[in-house]
Amino acid sequence: MSKKAIGIDIGGTGIKGAIVDTKNGTLLSERIRFATPDGGTPKAIAKTLKELIVQLPGAQGLPVGICFPAVVKSGRTMSAANVSKEWIGFDADTFFEKELQREVHVLNDADAAGIAEVKFGAARDAKGLAILTTLGTGIGTALMFNGKLIPNAELGHLEIDGVDYESKAAFSAKEREELSWEQWAKRLQKYFSRLEALLTPDLFIVGGGVSKEHESFIPLLKLKTPIIPAQNRNSAGILGAAHFAKKHASD
């Protein structure tokens, strides 16, 4: 049986995709990237996905996993971040299957990254509760318990000090306010300490582009829980989405 699937990562500015070996978590094609179309409507994004898939050699008949910046329940996008509001309450699975003429499975983008880290990365064989946090424009989170996804954990939006704390602790806040690593780490300390108090996790994994600079801030954090950088970085969404699609494929 083929262990291949297409993984596609839809973001507010870019759409990336590749063919993935879902057994060992490697890319079997070049990673193709298109700009997210202005407005981010379902029709415009579907058109871009068709153009992307055509450029993937050997894509015929492969299931597609799509990770998306939204809460996703049973293939329906229940929210929308940096894309059209048309996605709210939208049956994305059915829509993409009709447009792409193949089996499609949609999931939250942070959840896809979490799956990638558990299956192929930093949380492989992790026991208990692992929490992935993606530190970027906002804070995305994924909860994995003994390797099983607990979907749609929007823990980046915890209220701390009277505000949605991703506005203070996301990497975008560091850049916007020109914070030093030490200043930003104080905010991360408050955020991760709150997660510890609420959930008593066994492992934190830090993802997002800033994870490549983990030595500048992770050692500044004083936590009871081990905290380590993610391994899959820019390919995490693609890998996790492809694995999710293959796992749920009808064949």
- Mean pLDDT, 10 residues at a time, over the chain (251 residues)? 89 92 95 94 97 94 94 94 92 97 96 95 92 92 95 94 96 96 98 98 93 96 97 92 93 62
If one counts the domains in the chain, the total is 2
Residue 117 included in any domain: no
Does one domain contain both 62 and 130? no
User: Is residue 77 domain-shared with residue 103, that is, in the same domain?
Assistant: yes
Q: Are residues 216 and 135 in the same domain?
A: yes
Question: What's the pLDDT at 209?
Answer: 84
48 and 144: one domain? Answer: no
Predicted model pTM:
0.91
116 inside domain: no
Kindly state whether residue 94 falls inside one of the protein's structural domains: yes
Same domain membership, residue 241 and residue 218: no
Q: Is residue 119 part of a domain?
A: no
Range of the domain at 61: 4-111+235-248
Of 199, 144, 206, 198, residue with least CA distance to 169: 206
CA 132/CA 112 separation, integer angstroms? 10
Do 19 and 66 lie in one domain? The reply is yes
| Whether residues 242 and 180 fall in one domain | no
pLDDT on residue 26? 95
Angle of CA points 14, 122, 113, to nearest 5°: 30
> Are 44 and 94 part of one and the same domain?
yes
> Do 136 and 82 fall within a single domain?
no
Q: What's residue 66's pLDDT?
A: 98
The whole-number pLDDT of residue 148 equals 93
Task: Let me know if residue 50 belongs to a domain.
Answer: yes
97 and 130 part of one domain: no
Query: Do 196 and 239 share a structural domain?
Result: no
User: Domain containing 154 — which CATH number?
Assistant: 3.30.420.40
| Res 114: pLDDT | 95
Helix (H), strand (E), coil (C) string for the chain: CCCEEEEEEECCCEEEEEEEECCCCEECCCCEEEECCCCCCHHHHHHHHHHHHHCCCCCCCCCEEEEECCCEECCEECCCCCCCHHHCCEEHHHHHHHHHCCCEEEEEHHHHHHHHHHHHCCCCCCCCEEEEEEECCCEEEEEEECCEEECCCCHHHCEECCEECHHHHCHHHHHHCCCCHHHHHHHHHHHHHHHHHHHCCCEEEEECHHHHHHHHCHHHCCCCCCEEECCCHHHHHHHHHHHHHHHHCCC
Shared domain check, 240 and 225: no
